[in-house]
Amino acid sequence: MFTAALFAVAVAMILCLLRMLLGPTVYDRILALNSFGTKTVLTIAIAGFLMGRPDFLDIALVYALINFIGTIAILKFFEYGTLGDESLEESE
């Protein structure tokens, strides 16, 4: 059962890779990258269950947080063109 779930997640990851490569806009590609990261979290959790390693859930949670923060940073960069506070840069 969990092997079938792992296979289904792998197929979904391949589809996300296709969207990342063929996406018509930058935001489609960013959304596909975020979905790929989410599916990676699922893959880590399922693999941990299959191997009997519950500590993989901790790794999956850390990866989910990194994925979320990275997606927000990429979106901010594409929206504003910078990641820092420009008011501090102008005063120096």
At 54-72, the pLDDT tens digits run: 999 999 999 999 999 999 9
Distance CA 52, CA 29 (A): 34
Q: Considering Cα of 86, then 88, then 90, then 92, what sign does the dihedral take?
A: negative
pTM: 0.80
Asked if 43 and 6 touch (Cβ cutoff 8 Å), the reply is yes
Q: What is the pLDDT of residue 81?
A: 82
Higher pLDDT pick, 33 / 88: 33
| Confidence at 90, pLDDT banded by 50, 70, 90 | low
